[in-house]
Amino acid sequence: MRFFVGLDVSSFDMKVCVLDQDGARVDTFSVSNDLPGATELKERLLDLTADTEVDILKIGLESTSVYSFHPSMFLHHDADLKALGAKVFVMNPKQIANFKKSYSDMNKTDEIDAFVIADYMRFGRNTMSIVKESQYVALQQLTRSRYHLIKTMTKEKQHFLQHLSFKCNTFSQEVDSSVFGHAMMELFLEKFSLEELAQLPLEELAEFLQVHGKNRFPNPEAVAASIQRAVRSSYRLDKVVEDSLDVLLGTSIEVIRSLQRQVKEIDKTIKRIMAGLTQTVESIPGIGPVFAAGIIAEIGQIERFDDETKIAKYAGLYWRTHQSGRFTAEDTSLTRQGNQYLRYYLVEAANSVRRQVPEYQVYYAKKFGEVPKHQHKRALVLTARKLVRLVDALLRNHQLFSPERGVKV
């Protein structure tokens, strides 16, 4: 006998529908979305199958953020359900919504949604994702939080640059050094006025940069001279405006440094987990434990995907086609669908790999020169798409990267 259990999960409860292989409703009920409710669900499933020889027991629910996480993990790890051969699937809500369109006479209710999920599994024509193991879930929480911290830091840096352009409008053009380096930020924290910087002896400014830059400037005098050129050529502000901008610059610096500390702490935890996880993505030059974690945390078990094309589509690494009659647009946009986290880590990894692996350097350069617009973005995304094939081959074949031997792709 085959049983298919559909769960429609909300923050409060879970609507349950159990179908047999013929699509007949075996049972429908509702339990609370908490530990007692999940335990009751398990016991009722065990009662239903107690006197039956179970060939297949599939439990499915939509991926609805934190609401579906706990019940999926509870049911996946339960020893009694494992003894029955039960498998838990977490599905894309869009796939369920599209499948439901075939039931034109159905309304939107939780009980009906549970039935549709169960029926979707019964047909089994589309790929369904088995729930990820705990180590992947742990990494996913870390890498996704890191992603949001990086995005927040990028926005804060943009605010910082806006404030800086108000205070010294030629700074970015004249100064050939990162404004986000430690020495530069310490300089901004000193809250020098433009006049004070302009009158500061060059040797004193150079020494300030060298001390706070921990002797990393190859030519601090040249950097100091460029700062003073920028200061002297910039517009002057009223003191009250300049003082307010100094406060904003200082605030932004503290926010940026706080975010950087948080990212470092997350990176330490990621590296600790990755040290105990068997995987081969880190064997690719340019991919360290953080980028590798971001990739495998979203992919999970490679068996969830039929091949590398499914991974690329899942990550959203493709462009939309715009075609009408004999016209095909050359300038099309990258799809906005797909897993944004996986796409981010694949693209960041590709940007690192292309600097260290000659094959990827050549490929990136070739794609960069093919179009007149969006060269870097397009070339980088295509390089990431190429990287997907390599990642898939290494994970699927448990193979280490070897440029001489290559991989099976």
Reported as a single tens digit per residue, the pLDDT across 97-133 is 888 888 766 666 657 889 999 999 998 755 566 666 6
199 and 84 within one domain: no
Helix (H, G, I), strand (E, B) or coil at 62: strand
Locate 180 and state its tokens: 């986000």
% of the chain with per-residue pLDDT over 70: 90
306 and 193 within one domain: no
Residue type, 286: G
The answer to whether residue 405 sits within a structural domain is no
CATH number of the domain encompassing residue 51 = 3.30.420.10
159 and 39 within one domain: no
Q: Which residue has the higher pLDDT, 314 or 102?
A: 314
Total domains in the chain come to 3
The answer to whether residue 43 sits within a structural domain is yes
The whole-number pLDDT of residue 128 equals 63
- Final residue in a domain of this structure, among 131, 150, 168: 131
Q: Which domain holds residue 299?
A: 281-397
Residue 298 CA to residue 391 CA, distance in Å, equals: 13
- Final residue in a domain of this structure, among 250, 272, 294: 272
362 and 262 within one domain: no
Give pLDDT tens digits for 57-95: 999 999 876 788 899 999 999 999 999 999 999 888 888
The answer to whether residue 403 sits within a structural domain is no
**Out of 119-133, 319-333, 366-380, least confident range:** 319-333
Name the region of 246 (left: φ>0; alpha: ψ -120 to 50; beta: rest): alpha
100 and 143 within one domain: no
Locate 92 and state its tokens: 């894309």
Q: Is the dihedral of CA 170, 176, 179, 185 positive or negative?
A: negative
Q: Which residues contact 337 (CB under 8 A, 6 or more apart)?
A: 316
116 and 232 within one domain: no
Average pLDDT over the chain, rounded to whole?
89
Length of the chain in terms of residues written: 409
Give pLDDT tens digits for 329-348: 455 566 667 899 999 999 99
CB atoms within 10 A of CB 72: 24
Locate 173 and state its tokens: 């053009």
The whole-number pLDDT of residue 98 equals 85
Q: Residue 320 carries which DSSP code?
A: P
146 and 242 within one domain: yes
Q: Report, in this order, helix, strand and coil percent for the chain, each rounded to 5.
A: 60, 10, 30
**Out of 62-76, 144-158, 278-292, least confident range:** 62-76
pLDDT of 164 > 50? The answer is: yes
Asked if residue 246 lies in contact with residue 166, where contact means CB atoms within 8 angstroms, the answer is: no
Give pLDDT tens digits for 7-17: 999 989 999 99
